[in-house]
């Protein structure tokens, strides 16, 4: 059950932080540098699948490690590494096969994915520890 709880917390944290980044902080940056590559409106179904699957990966590869080691730092480090590898895969592939994909966008996006993923993993474990949610039996 603790993994289901971790997943729920991580989804909420991830969506809040990424919405602030994409919707407010970096909106103009992406729009100005990606131009015609961007759709007028996101494909929300595709985005939802990404978020749900990606956060499952964060729980499996980062948050569960932090739980096992009882370490927010371990969760943060593994989350950052997971984010780095995933976002680098996406952005390097785009640079390799898309005309006009901006290298600056790729660099910023990889840094963002690294920071976001480490923050979400650490924040999830911190929240679970703070609210005593890790004392549950490990049946989930």
- The per-residue pLDDT for range 76-85, each reduced to its tens digit, is 999 999 999 9
Residue 137 predicted with pLDDT over 80: no
In the chain, where the domains are located: 2-130
Angle between helices 103-130 and 72-97 (to 10 degrees): 160
Which one-letter DSSP state was computed for residue 40?
S
- Alpha helical stretches, state H, the chain: 2-20, 27-34, 44-58, 64-69, 72-97, 103-130
How confident is the model over 54-78, as pLDDT tens digits? 999 999 999 999 999 999 999 999 9
To the nearest whole number, what is the mean pLDDT of the chain? Answer: 94
Residue 87: pLDDT over 70: yes
How confident is the model at residue 140, as a pLDDT? 47
Tokens representing residue 88 in the block: 């680098």
Residue-wise pLDDT for 32-54, tens only, equals: 999 888 888 889 999 999 999 99
The predicted pLDDT at position 139 comes to: 47
Calpha distance 125→127 (Å, rounded): 5
Classified as helix, coil or strand, 98 is coil
d(C-alpha 33, C-alpha 105), whole Å: 7
Nearest to 105 by CA among 86, 91, 90: 91
**Token pair for residue 30?**
């992406």
Q: Name residue, tokens 């007028």.
A: 40
- Top pLDDT among 137 and 102 is at 102
**Helix crossing, 103-130 with 2-20: angle to 10°?**
140
119, 76 Cβ separation under 8 angstroms: yes
Residues 10-19, mean pLDDT to the nearest whole number: 97
């Amino acid at each position: 059950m603790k993994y289901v709880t971790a997943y729920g917390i991580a989804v909420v944290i991830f969506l809040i932080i990424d919405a602030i980044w994409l919707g407010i902080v970096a909106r103009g940056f992406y729009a100005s540098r990606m131009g015609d590559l961007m759709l007028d409106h996101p494909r929300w179904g595709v985005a939802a699948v990404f978020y749900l699957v990606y956060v499952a990966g964060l729980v499996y590869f980062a948050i569960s490690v932090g739980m096992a080691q009882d370490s927010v730092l371990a969760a943060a480090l593994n989350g950052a590494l997971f984010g780095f590898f995933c976002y680098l895969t996406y952005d390097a592939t785009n640079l390799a096969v898309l005309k006009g994909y901006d290298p600056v966008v790729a660099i910023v996006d990889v840094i963002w994915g690294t920071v976001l993923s480490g923050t979400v993993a650490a924040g999830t474990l911190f929240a679970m520890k703070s609210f005593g949610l890790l004392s549950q039996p490990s049946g989930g």
